[in-house]
Amino acid sequence: MSYLEEIQVKNLDHLGIVAGLIDEIGIVKIINNKLGIDVREKISAGTVVKSILINGLGFVSRPLYLFSQFFQDKAIEKLLGERIKPDYLNDDKIGRVMDELYKYGLNDIFIEVVLEVIKKFKIDLKYSHLDSTSFHLDGEYKREEDKEKQEEEKIIKERPIFIKKGYSRDHRPDLKQCVLDLITSQDGDIPLFVRVGDGNESDKAVFGKVLVEFKKQIKFDSIMVCDSALYGQENLQIIQHLKWITRVPMTIKKAKELVQNIEVEEVKDEDKENRSDLNLESYTWKEEIVTYGGIKQTWLIVLSEKRQKSDLEKLEKQLSQEEKKSQKFLKEIQSEEFEHPQAARYKLKAINKKLRLLEIKEVELIKTYSKKKEKIYKMISLIIKKDEEISRKTKEAGKFILATNLVEENKLEASEILITYKNQQSTERGFRFLKDPLFFTDSFFVEKPERIETMLFLMSLCLLIYNLGQRELRNCLKRVKKGINNQVGKVTLRPTLRWIFQCFQGIHYVILNGVKQIVNLTEERRFILSLLPASCQRYYL
């Protein structure tokens, strides 16, 4: 055997970090305990799931039928276990495991993983955030609708989802879709609850039920935070025993009146410094006690200076665009010949429906004769501003209302309500991650609705692993009070885990004459590893 034939070089890169986080959580053990281990199989279901998660966080866009190719140049035995070969991870094996996961119950498995993470990593659950997004899908997905649907269907459905058209957050109304509801912790954006719904599902119809189901599964006294889709009389009755913060939709009459008539309080000099420390210097607010849907609440009417400026600029732009449009309409209606006065007024009414801030008003209808000596009517009109509508929009600019049922002895400070709602973007960050084109794909094809639900379950586990790793790294940097260089060479205490993954590119697992070693492990990389759980370090040190 030649000297060269005794050298094996495999890529490890950042995948050891991913594998270590999976081990630290105990995902393989949880899956194997649920699905069981068949001694006749070369690879367990838990290890297959681990391989999918490593693949998902490898940030290479490869569909499942190219899955085994992903591991061809990787240190697969180091990552997954001795004597495991890439061809063990074929599409048939992965498909069988996905079907087993679905059959057992994706929600039950996810909840057990989450409970383990909460306990082991001491996740603060004071606040939890709910939001939803849609994923558009290619394919037919023909399924028979249930002939008779129960009036009240459980939010965790026993039937597979229906893939159908609905309101698309991806701006692809031409494609069928499914909906993903996600609850995350404010502490580290850790996914706590995931639910896949039908493509035409309405947030308003399910959000209340989702929160109730979440509280049954995760028995913690968390304050639930959600956008205005939650706020409606039916939902408020459903969640009346929960603690919540949400936004009030401006379609509610009481909300319109308050925004129009209430004056937010000026900030006192002694409060300015405190608001600056909280990064709320551009906000002012006023509290009101309101009863809506039979629930006593605190409404916080908030004015954002930045948003007010943006809203007024948009209003000015809208007014300018309507002026151009209305001039065109004015010229059109004044040059037209009408057989009857009613026809002229009907045309004017149709035009005004297209305008919001301006109105074309009839001044006079003139009876005259056409070139053919036929009696006709011509309209003289002028453009006027809708002062009341413009004034309403001007008063509303920059204002929004937050509501909470935490009143009296449970009352929160106004600043805490506002800061907590601003952190609602924790779910939005999760959606951006799941829809990143480098992560699986934002539009995927799997042959059955059950497989789509399972794929979203696995993608959500990837999000949990990623955010947990990022949280642990940032918390450790904060404790040691030492930062690392980011992409532009500036020291930061809050690096993204994706940047850390990039920093670990080029680490190899080398076997030379039977001796195994890791190469390219610099001092900087060793320092980063020291900040991560011990399970991550074992893959490199």
Whole-prediction pTM: 0.87
Q: Are 154 and 197 in contact (CB under 8 A)?
A: no
Q: Is-contact 273 435, C-beta < 8 A?
A: no
Angle formed at CA 297 by CA 291 and CA 301, multiple of 5 degrees: 100
Per-residue pLDDT of 90-139, as tens digits, reads 888 999 999 999 999 999 999 999 999 999 999 999 999 999 998 888 76
Contact between 128 and 222 under an 8 Å Cβ cutoff? The reply is yes
User: What CA–CA distance (Å, rounded) separates 96 from 497?
Assistant: 31
Rounded to the nearest 5 degrees, what angle is found at the Cα of 120, between the Cα atoms of 114 and 125?
60
Q: Who's near 204: CB < 8 A, 6+ residues apart?
A: 229, 230, 232, 235
Q: What are 170-227's pLDDT values in tens digits?
A: 888 888 898 999 999 999 999 999 999 988 888 888 999 999 989 888 877 899 999 9
CA distance 370 to 468: 78
* Residues 446 and 452: beta-carbon distance below 8 Å: yes
Question: What tokens appear for 357 in the block?
Answer: 């801030």
Q: What is the mean pLDDT of residues 445-450?
A: 76
Query: Is the pLDDT score of 248 beyond 90?
Result: yes
Return the pLDDT at 448. Answer: 84
* 356 close to 322: Cβ distance less than 8 angstroms: yes
Residue % of the chain over a pLDDT of 70: 92
Token output for 227:
């956008």
Q: Name the average pLDDT for the chain.
A: 89
Give per-residue pLDDT as tens, 483-537.
Answer: 999 988 899 999 999 999 999 999 999 988 888 899 999 999 999 999 999 999 9
**Which residues, listed in sequence order, are joined to residue 291 by a DSSP beta bridge?**
296
> Which ranges of 122-244 would DSSP assign to H, the alpha helix?
203-217, 233-238
In this structure, what DSSP letter does residue 410 have? G
- 3-state secondary structure string across 236-276: HHHCCCCEEEEECCCCCHHHHHHHHHCCCCCCCHHHHHHHH
Whose CA is closest to 447, among 92, 140, 66? 140
How many other C-beta atoms are found inside a 10 Å radius of the C-beta of residue 216?
11
Residue 465's closest CA among 14, 12, 3? 14
Q: For 314-342, how does the pLDDT look when each residue is reduced to its tens digit (9 = 90+)?
A: 999 999 999 999 999 999 999 999 999 99
One-letter amino acid at 285 equals W
Whether 53 contacts 458, CB under 8 Å: yes
* Angle 424-428-429 from CA coordinates, rounded to 5°: 110
Is the separation of the CB atoms in 507 and 518 below 8 Å? yes
Count the neighbouring beta carbons within 10 Å of the beta carbon of residue 232: 20
* Structure-block tokens of residue 235: 């939902």
> For 100-113, how does the pLDDT look when each residue is reduced to its tens digit (9 = 90+)?
999 999 999 999 99
- CA 71 vs. chain centroid, Å, equals 30
Instruction: Report the SS3 class of residue 143.
Output: coil
Residue 147: the pLDDT is 40
pLDDT at 302 over 80: yes
pLDDT digits (tens, 9 = 90+) for 46-58: 999 999 999 989 8
CA atoms within 13 A on the CB side of 247: 21
- Does 150 score more than 90 pLDDT? no
What are the pLDDT digits (tens) for 358-391? 999 999 999 999 888 889 999 999 999 999 999 9
